[in-house]
């Protein structure tokens, strides 16, 4: 990819908002279907090819990255630690959504071997969603286990133990679903 003919667009993804460094101007959009459509429409108005750069955000980036892939717009999902190190190296210590979007633009323009992230296959997307769900359940389980304190009233301890049991069962179910997806993909790979 030749950096002289591509605009690098920084996209900071949050749960409820998208902040875009659009060639030096700032665009703030809701992180929903309408916001994704608006972003794609704005990117299509640019005179040259664009390459959007965003950080992996534990899954929050998936909808907007999916919309960009569907529109045929090049996007790279990058490691947040690399971007933070880059920002520190350039003296950008402040951290706001607007600044993060600018840093992502600069990161994209500076890194020579920034490859587009390919769109996931349906099974990969589903597996990634289950991995996220497993991690969420594990966090809840860890929190419940940490709430067990000696001397707690028996009814409360019983309720807590029941919640822990339910979470453990859910984690097992999710692990089984993940295993089925992995097994199905291994079978498909063996056939092709």
Q: How many helical (H) and strand (E) elements, i.e. helices and strands, does the chain have?
A: 6, 5
Q: Of all residues in the chain, what percent carry a pLDDT higher than 70?
A: 94
What's the confidence (pLDDT) of residue 6? 80
Residue 145 has pLDDT above 90, yes or no: yes
- pLDDT of 111-129, one tens digit each? 878 888 888 777 887 888 8
Pairwise pLDDT comparison (93 vs 82), residue with the higher score: 82
Q: Locate tokens 């594990």: which residue? A: 138
More confident residue, 149 or 183: 149
User: Two tokens at 170?
Assistant: 């859910």
| CATH class of the domain whose range is 3-110 | alpha beta
> Which pLDDT value is given to residue 175?
94
In this model, does residue 154 exceed pLDDT 60?
Answer: yes
Predicted confidence band of residue 73 (pLDDT cuts 50, 70, 90): very high
**Three-state DSSP state, 106:** helix
Summarize pLDDT for 9-50 with one digit per residue, the tens: 999 999 999 999 988 899 999 999 999 999 999 999 987 889
Higher pLDDT, 96 or 11: 11
CA atoms of 96 and 58, how far apart (whole Å): 18
Phi, psi of 176 (to 5 degrees): -65, -40
Average pLDDT on 57-82 reads 91
pLDDT of 83 reads: 92
pLDDT category at 57 given cuts 50, 70, 90 is: confident
CB contact at 8 A, 53 and 107: yes
- What ranges do the domains of the chain cover? 3-110, 122-191
């Amino acid at each position: 990819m030749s950096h002289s003919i591509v605009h690098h667009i920084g996209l900071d993804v949050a749960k409820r908002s998208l902040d875009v460094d659009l060639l030096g101007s700032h665009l703030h959009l809701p992180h929903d279907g309408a916001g994704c459509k608006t972003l794609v429409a704005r990117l299509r108005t640019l005179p040259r090819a664009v390459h959007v750069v965003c950080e992996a955000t534990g899954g929050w980036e998936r909808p907007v990255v999916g919309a960009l892939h569907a529109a045929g717009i090049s996007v790279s999902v990058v490691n947040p630690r690399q971007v933070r190190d880059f920002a520190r190296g350039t003296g950008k210590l402040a951290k706001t959504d607007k600044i993060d979007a600018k840093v992502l633009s600069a990161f994209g323009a500076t890194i020579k071997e920034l490859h587009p992230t390919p769109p996931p296959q349906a099974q990969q997307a589903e597996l990634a969603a289950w991995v996220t769900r497993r991690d969420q359940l594990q966090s809840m389980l860890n929190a419940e286990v940490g709430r067990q304190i000696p001397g707690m009233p028996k009814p409360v301890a019983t309720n807590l133990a029941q919640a822990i049991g339910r979470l453990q069962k859910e984690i097992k179910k999710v692990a089984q679903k993940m295993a089925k997806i992995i097994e199905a993909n291994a079978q498909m790979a063996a056939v092709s």
